[in-house]
Structure 1
Amino acid sequence: MKNGMNTSERTFWKKYLAKAKLDLSYAAYTKVQKSWTDENPACPFNRLYFICEGEGYVRIGDQTYFPKPGELYLLPAGSDQAYGTISDNTFGKYWCHFSAKIGDLDLFQILQTSPCLKVQNPEELVKAFEQLIAYSQSDSITSEFRAYSILMTFIADFIEQNQSIKLNLTSTPTFEKMNKVLLYMEQHIAENVSVDTLSRIAHYHPNYFINAFKQFTGYSPIQYMNHLRSEKAKDLLMTTELNVSQIADALGMELSYFSRMFREQTGFKPTAFRDLRLKTMENSP
């Protein structure tokens, strides 16, 4: 997925994908019955199946798979999903149903993966599933946090270990339009870019554009521009000897506004950020 991307693009997608909102519906271990079979057109949620024993099939779109013990399968939301048995030796599997959305979009329609991977450490995955099941059934006030953490780890591991990952930038027309807007903002980072200008690039009415932009990025246009500027400022603070005033000028900002914006974005004053990072680098082995 990183091939062909510059640092700014990787940073954007890393943070954009991390905005996914997760919601766990069910988690369990099941030794399925011979009658286990169903078809779910455009299923609205994701399924994770970790196969421990037995045999059967799963179908995603027009592709049919025959999972083996030790394999983890993801059936992504929005796809046509089906499953069933093929013998009396039925699946024993850990499983969960969950949603993972960025705005109105499903995470695994944006980030496309191969559906299966061979689990590297099945004992650890079994332990994690057991914990997920326990937290999903717990009345503890922190159980949702714990379940969310485990599910997030499942997703991160699945992505990291997957052999085929690509961004589906055409999953919705919004991507093509917003990518043009984001590129324009990056190229005009030192200018006072208006909402009217950005909405014209996207061919949206200004009022609709603001909502669509926030749905896509999680930021308002001014918040996202400040995010870009703070990222650029961090780079300049670390890689150049420009003083804070010069960096503010390079970003087309008044010094007082730049310093306030940078502190709001990072929690540090610009000079404190530079000093801290330099000390960290000096003390690293």
Structure 2
Amino acid sequence: MMVRDYSRCRLRPDETRGGIHPYPELLYVLTGKVQITWMGVSYTAGPRALLLLPSDTPHQVIALSKEADIWYAELDLEGDELFPGMDHNITWNELQCAPESRPVLDPVFEMTLELVTEAICSEKISVSEYAKRLCLLDIQKLLLLIRAYLERDSAALSFDRNGGGDTTVALMRFMESRYSQPITLKTLADFVHLNPSYLIRDFKKHTGSTPIQYLQMLRMNAATSFLAATDMSINHVAEQCGYPSIHYFSQSFKKKFGVSPSDWRKKTALAARTKG
């Protein structure tokens, strides 16, 4: 696999970008709002939407806001089958263009996406062969993470997309995409238009836990990933995981793991060094 072409572009409402080429493409929205017409369907995409455009499929991109910044990367797969199939492309793009249902992947995905963005926008890959190879490895990692997510959840996503009315799946998707934001039982009840008491019973029937317990699990999983893989301050980790205060975060973390976030980070780092 190789990066055939790439660029950061600023779009305005009076110009149209896009076309057709025999290479698959990644398109990422940095700022503003754009309309992407692909496979006869128009999608509205905002910041942090990453679109997958297979080879030989016409597509057009225009800015809906006064200005919009995007980057794209065309890939020459050279026989590599990393790029997802058409059905998965459609599913992924639909999710990316619906912020309320956009999946929350492992923090590694977000960090890798940031690395690719930085490499393309700074044009490091045009001046350094090492930077180009590292960027290509990061793109391959993104595609692998996307495929792993879609192939693991394809049945659930298809069921949800076809309007099966699965309230539990809808709530799980909602919390997975907004775990870093303030969420209460009322927030969830308003989202699915259900009585809070019924909502709790129905969710627990299907998952074995209450909605708030599921949300807490998501936040704790995110917290341990941030603590293990980044040098974020404890306060920043708390903010990124949806906790209103570092005190409440530390209290919740210690209740779950028996140690404070800082002690957990130290023990994890020590274990990694010992293992290495």
TM beyond 0.5: no
Task: Report the structure, 1 or 2, having the larger helix content.
Answer: 2
Highest Rg: 1 or 2? Answer: 1
What is the TM-score normalised by the length of structure 2? 0.42
What is the TM-score normalised by the length of structure 1? 0.41
